[in-house]
Amino acid sequence: MPVNLPTNLLRSFVAIVDTGSMLNASEKVFVTQSALSLQIKRLEELLQQALFHRDGRRLTLTAAGELMLDYARKVLTLHDEAVAAVSAGQFSGPARIGMVQDFAELLLSGLLAQFAELHPDAQIYSRVAGTAELLTLLERRQLDIVLGYAAPGDPHAVSQAAMVWFGESALASRETIPLAVLEQPCRFREAAIRALEDAGRSFRITVETPNLTTLRAAVEAGLGLTCRTPLFLPGEEIAPDLLPSLPRVSCILQTAGALDEATTRLADLARQTVAAL
């Protein structure tokens, strides 16, 4: 089994060397001389080496003591740096943010670049997936921040957006509407199907993909109609009177319970960016 050396023993050992006596060291580390003596005895027992030559009250380092002094200083320096950094919020793991694909194309080049400028030493982990998957990862504490979609009125809503239809207008007049959709679960897929069913419009899914880029390409190629927010294809919406109306959707931001300083700043920047969309 490895030997664990308590830092208080190392600190007392270094204090004795630096101050030159038990009396002065006891005042520096705030323990009595008898307690200090017991600490050094315990440290020597753990190391199974004598650290001092004792000549009355005079103490000089043994060869083992000289070697241990160098390591003790390094250990205490690293220990104190770690405590100071964590206490000041300067040390943190990666800022882990998850977002739906709609936000990724907009935010990865803007929000995360801005965050990197403000916190050049911080690491960023980004996950792009559907809202349901991202919220599961947040619950498991595998993400710190999630940007996604939810129903109107969600308590985590930052803003709301309209759902609109996209695609070639001529497809909207077909007897059977061709739909291009993302794989389940997908709030937009469900909204499109429900709207058509409620309106008594026949439809069939012509394109199903897990990827938003592929979905956009399919819609632009005239393979089907889809519904998204205006972020999907700005300015390319179908006239609203050609197809059934759609519900609104909430843009949500959820965070883990406790965030460090840098990740809190990233969450604030994300909230401001989404609110301004």
Summarize the confidence of residues 14-25 as an average pLDDT: 87
| Sequence ranges of the domains in the chain | 7-87, 95-160+251-275, 164-246
- Contacts of 125 by beta carbon, 8 Å cutoff, 6+ apart: 94, 95, 96, 97
Q: What fold characterizes domain 164-246?
A: D-Maltodextrin-Binding Protein; domain 2 (3.40.190)
Give residue-wise pLDDT tens across range 149-190.
Answer: 998 888 999 888 889 999 999 998 899 999 999 988 888 999
* 194 and 163 Cβ atoms separated by less than 8 Å: no
Summarize the confidence of residues 209-213 as an average pLDDT: 86
Give residue-wise pLDDT tens across range 33-90.
Answer: 888 889 999 999 999 999 998 877 788 899 999 999 999 999 988 887 776 666 555 4
**Alpha helices by DSSP H, the chain:** 7-19, 22-29, 33-47, 63-87, 101-107, 111-118, 131-139, 187-198, 212-220, 261-275
Find the range with the poorest average confidence among 24-38, 60-74, 200-214.
Answer: 24-38
Between CA 135 and CA 47 the distance in angstroms is 50
CATH number, domain 95-160+251-275: 3.40.190.10
Measured over the CA atoms of residue 173, residue 174, residue 177 and residue 180, the dihedral's sign is negative
**pLDDT at residue 181 in the model:** 93
Domains 7-87 and 164-246 share a fold: no
**pLDDT at residue 88 in the model:** 55
Between CA 271 and CA 180 the distance in angstroms is 30
Q: How would you classify the pairing of strands 95-99 and 124-128?
A: parallel
Decide if domain 7-87 falls under CATH 1.10.10.10.
yes
Helix crossing, 7-19 with 33-47: angle to 10°? 120
Backbone angles phi, psi at 192, to 5 degrees: -65, -45
Give residue-wise pLDDT tens across range 89-146.
Answer: 544 567 888 888 888 776 666 777 777 777 777 777 888 888 888 898 888 888 889 9
